[in-house]
Every structure is written in C-alpha cells, then in structure tokens.
Amino acid sequence: MHKKYSPVQPPKRLLMGPGPSMVEPRVYAAMAQPVVGHLDPYFFEIMEDVHSLLAQVYGTNNHFTMAISGTGSAGMEAAVSNFVEDGSKLAVFASGFFADRIAEMGRRQGAQVVRLEKPWGVTFSADESRDFIKREKPNVVAYVHAETSTGAVNPGEVICEAAREVGALTIADCVTSLGTMPVEVDRTGIDIAYSCSQKGLGAPPGLSPLTASARAMEWLHKRTTQNHSWYLDLKLLDEYFGASHRYHHTAPISMFYALREALVVVSEEGLEQRYERHRRNHLAFVAGMEAMGMSMHVAAGHRLPALNTPVVPAGIEDMKIRKRLLDGDGIEILGGFGPLAGKVFRVGIMGAGSTKENVLLLLEKMEDALKAEGYAAPASGRAAAEKYYTSRLT
C-alpha cells in the first residue's frame, strides 16, 4: 500500500537564530515565477542585476562579483581552492569555528597553515595582526569579518594593509556581515570576499555571493597549477558569468530570482538606513539582556549587530530555553558550540527579521522561558528595550 503524502506545510516559525533568517514575501513571490533555461537571455539579465546590486552591497567595483551556486561554505571553498595552492602558506586569524573551517580547507589544499590563535569571541589588535603577517610572510591571509559562532567582528583594514606589504592576497568571510553592516571591500583592501544568501540579504539558503579584486583575478589567471575543484573553478565560472556565457553548470534559476529580489529590497531601503536599523535593534536587544541580568559574551565595541551571544545564566540549560521558545511560540534561536557549547545563546536579529516588534517579542518570551526554568530577572528586558527605543526618538 502506497503512503499518501500531504502537501508541504511547514510550521510557522520566527527565525531569530544565526540563519537562515526571515524571508520577505516578495522574495518568495519571485521564486514562484516560471523557470527559464540557464543559457536564456533573460537569465543573463537576472545575473547582471545580481552583479550590479551585489557590487553596491559589497562596496566594490570588482568585475568578478557574482553568486556561486551553493551555500556559504561553497563560497568559502571557492575562495580557498582558487587562491591557496599546494605548498603555499595560508595565515589564518583563528578565534571561532569558521576560521577553523577555513584552516581545514587550506590544509586539504595542501597548504602550510599557520594560525594566530585567540579564545573564541576575542578579536585581534592592530599590532598583533601586523606582526603576525610580517613574521609569517604568507601567500594568502584569511580572516572572518563576522564570526557567526561567537558574534564578534574583526575589522580588516590593518590585516589587508599588512598582507599587501608582504605580497599576500586577503580572503574575508563576510557571511554574517553582508547586508547588515558595512563591508566596503575596495576601501578595506579585501581581495576575495564571500557571503551567503540566507542571512543579512534575506533570501533562502542556496547561493554564495563572492567578489574578487582585479589583483586576485590577475593572480588566478597566471596560476599554473590546476584547481582541485572543477565546480568551483573561478576561471570557468568567470567565462559563464562573463560576456562569453560559456556553459559551465545548470544554475539554480529560482534562487537567482530570489537573490535578485532580496537585493532590490536592500537597495530600496538604502544601505545606511539598513545598517542603522540593524544597529538600533541590536542595541535595544542588548539593553534588554542587561536589564534581565545577563551579560554578552563579546566585549562592547566588538559585537556584530546581526548576531548576538548573550551568556546563558548559571544553572540554566540553554537547550530547555530554546525548546520552550520553539515549542511554545515558534521562535528559533540557537546555542553555542565548540568551546561555547551550553554557554551562550546565538540570537540573530538580521535582515527582514531585524525589527522592533521582533526584538520586543523575543525579549518577552525569553524572559518567560527563563522564569519557567527558575531564573529570576531583576528587571524587565522588554521594558528596557522599549525605553531604549523611546530614547532614540528624543
């Protein structure tokens, strides 16, 4: 007897974790449009829109600015596999899970990987960044601009400047920063940057926006060794995305529709307004957490506006809080992992989900869940956030 399958009806969720984030209804509407072929002139119009809109968000004039078919990890592997050769030296600023992943990808490419280590969530000073690069003299330097595992931001100006002084290319992980805070690829001096579609840009997962400088592409076209990855070979992808439109792979057409529409939403809002919205809602959330007697894992001045890591109170199991939120109110937040497992919550306030209403609701429901598990907040987190919002209007 054949099983009868019901229509797809996912539960209603408010996605307030580290990603995926909430998706605008008009992005879903774009995905529902008819599929054309991956060599159709209309699809290349969509790709050109994605190129120009991504360039605005990245803050770059790079010719190669496009979305790789695959999630953010595909962008990471494209960056590493194209620019890290067997026997080369890769220097990694390591203070979180995704820096570790870059290092592992470099190791698999046959590189000599050197790491500047810090505890998860601690950032690097200008002097130690410069000294590390000058001491190691690597071929490629990689850092995580926005570390999703910790909620910390690592500015890249000094890293990129020092890398250029020793002739190295710089790779920046912008997975959680793109669309939520300034990335400014050209001004910072980043050679290769990658991100994802499902966080600050507000599209579903499936594409990885990547940009590479003229300097990086010149190096790539002079590379004499072959990339171990055919699918992620940027030389081949440049021919597909570029003027020749030479067939490479069947791109996910509907995902490009979605990303294009999400980027239009970003453009219509305006980058400065979007960054200020994320900053304001982040600060309101922090005010609420602190009123409830909870501290933040990352020091002030080094926190991401889109990814918050409040410390789990002593005696509280983070999984029980997360389960109460999901089962009772359909709110998803996630916990820490690695050395931060059970120690922090990871709360995403990003993209379409970064709103005053969501911040206030989350604070109220978190306080209810904590109270149910025996934690007595000294003050109302929601009230503190409302006070912060009110003060911003005066």
| CATH code of residue 145 | 3.40.640.10
Q: In total, how many domains does the chain have?
A: 2
Residue 87 sits in the same domain as residue 195: yes
Neighbours of 92 (CB within 10 A): 27
Which amino acid, 130?
Answer: R
Residue 243 sits in the same domain as residue 155: yes
Output the pLDDT for position 243. Answer: 81
What CATH number does residue 287 fall under? 3.90.1150.10
What are 99-127's pLDDT values in tens digits?
A: 999 999 999 999 999 999 999 999 999 99
pTM beyond cutoff 0.85: yes
What are 219-254's pLDDT values in tens digits?
A: 999 999 999 999 999 999 999 988 889 999 999 999
Tokens (6 digits) for 120: 């998860």
Considering all CA atoms of the chain, what is the largest pairwise distance in Å, rounded to the nearest integer?
Answer: 69
Task: Choose one of 267, 294, 329: the last residue of a domain.
Answer: 267
Edge to edge, what strands does the sheet with 207-212 contain? 64-69, 207-212, 192-194, 169-173, 140-144, 89-94, 112-117
Output the pLDDT for position 286. Answer: 98
Residue 106 sits in the same domain as residue 248: yes
Residue 232 sits in the same domain as residue 157: yes
Tokens (6 digits) for 331: 């709110």
Neighbouring C-alpha atoms within 13 Å toward the C-beta of 18: 21
Residue 328 sits in the same domain as residue 356: yes
Residue 235 sits in the same domain as residue 351: no
What is the Cα 101 distance to its own chain's centre? 14
Given a cut of 60, whether residue 35 has pLDDT beyond it is yes
Backbone angles phi, psi at 142, to 5 degrees: -125, 135
Are the CB atoms for 95 and 123 separated by under 8 Å?
yes
Tell me how many degrees the CA angle 312-92-135 measures, rounded to the nearest 5: 125
**Residue range(s) defining the domain that contains residue 314:** 270-391
